[in-house]
Amino acid sequence: MNGLSVANARALFERGYADVNLTYGWRGVALTGGVMKQAAGSLRSGWHVYVGGGLGSAGRSVSLTVSPNTASQGWNAALSHSTGATTYQFGVDATGTPFSEAGVGGPRGTAVVAYHAWLLGEP
């Protein structure tokens, strides 16, 4: 991962979360969905699923990212960009707290989305 070593990603995930995302854009409209795994030991540990939509580049996009932050239930908003190899996301969670993610993904594209996340349960 460009700028994010495997050791750094592991350290981030031990206190943050991992996110697998699928986004599809058509005529400027983007649909997004995915699953997040919060690290054990957090008050919000476990699996979260999410679905939402917004504006984005045409075509499909897949990403695997990690975050030092905490996965949030409820409505979240984010801007994500993939260079075709690396993916970055910045947003605000349901409480207005900023979060960020970095990882791998592609192809190249950008999306601005709002999505709702649900906690599925404890690990």
Q: pLDDT digit string (tens) for 49-90?
A: 999 999 999 999 999 999 999 898 999 999 999 999 999 999
Task: Kindly report the length of the chain.
Answer: 123
CATH number reported for the structural domain that contains residue 46 in this entry: 2.40.128
Q: Within a domain: residue 1?
A: no
Look up the domain containing 88 and give its range.
6-121
pTM listed for this prediction: 0.84
Residue 55 lies in a domain: yes
Q: Name the 3-class secondary structure at 24.
A: strand
- pLDDT score of 15: 75
48 lies in some domain: yes
Question: Rounded distance, CA 28 to CA 50, Å?
Answer: 20
Token pair listed for 21: 């995302």
* Total tally of structural domains belonging to the chain: 1
In a domain? residue 14:
yes
How many Å is the Cα radius of gyration of the chain? 13
